[in-house]
Chain A
């Protein structure tokens, strides 16, 4: 059986044993997702690639610390997220969401640019504040489950659910302003 047909879990097991081929396959599988995720966090393509490089360096050196191979994807995104937040720490604030803030009245829309929408749908994402945008990217682009998003962001499952709803609500409001539908309420 060729390694390409191995499940992710077996790839991770091979990686644990030091297989560079497994490492390469995991990289190929996730490089696009991680570049895209990190780009939406730091908004600079070159820095996003630096972060992805750092992430894979840590994966190679620290795979032994991963307890459960089935949680590899969350672990990978968590490393990337930590690297990105480290980069952002001195540059611009990234106000993380909390379980409590899901019940508050904070606006998911980024006040500064919400009025400067261009034709591109991705400008809607730009109009979201970074922490809400991150949830949409993880869910819609990268296809992570609520449990995985909770693991990556440190939120509870119910907070992930509420925040994603709020992010969608804000996107729908912008979308309907931009493209002419009535207010969705």
Chain B
């Protein structure tokens, strides 16, 4: 194969990808008209792409849908949440990451080195967070689900009958 054919076949590949300008495309087709070798490459490449596109693709499972749907339910990891995590948890995480010991030793080390003042802050924050979540979480859920109709089921055993949709 000549160096010229190499160049044309590279252009041919770019042409299949829609990445060749008009002038170069015209030159390519002039060459194809007179070069059987490059025509064979052209035909094979087109057939391969067609066959590849016919292949069944990998699809996302419903389990993945559910996992991704849960992202963002409590807002973004940013602002207060992020700074809280960085200021309080980062030192612990860093220490755990740099410790060469086994998991058991790491846990023991954390227990020994965990300062009481830090524990007190965490306890207060946990109580406060519990209170906030108790009041804010239902509101958050309602806000995020405001476009989703709620189905009301009335159960008349053994059948379940849908009698209407509630939207808030």
Contact = CB atoms under 8 A, between A and B. Distances in A.
Same complex origin of A and B: yes
Identify whether the interface residues of B are mostly helix, strand, loop, or mixed. helix
Nearest to A39: B58
Interface in A90-140: 120-122, 124-125, 136, 139-140
Contact of A181 (B1, B19, B44, B72): B44
Contacts of B64: 31, 35, 49, 52-53
Given A53-B67, A164-B13, A185-B5, A121 B72 contact: no
A175 B51 CA distance: 11
B76 A49 contact: no
B147 A21 contact: yes
Identify whether the interface residues of A are mostly helix, strand, loop, or mixed. helix
Contacts of A32: 57-60
Contact of A18 (B58, B67, B76, B147): B76
Interface residues of B, number: 41
B78 A61 contact: yes
Nearest to B1: A185
Contacts of A184: 37, 40-41, 44
7 contacts: A20-B144, A49-B60, A120-B55, A121-B51, A165-B14, A172-B45, A185-B5
A140 B51 CA distance: 11
A12 B61 CA distance: 24
Interface in A55-84: 56-57, 60-61, 64
A182 interface: yes
B69 interface: yes
A176 to B, nearest CB: 6
A185 B106 CA distance: 61
Contacts of B41: 169, 172, 184-185
Given A175-B47, A176-B44, 11 more contacts: A27-B68, A31-B64, A32-B57, A35-B58, A36-B57, A49-B63, A52-B64, A56-B71, A124-B52, A140-B49, A165-B10
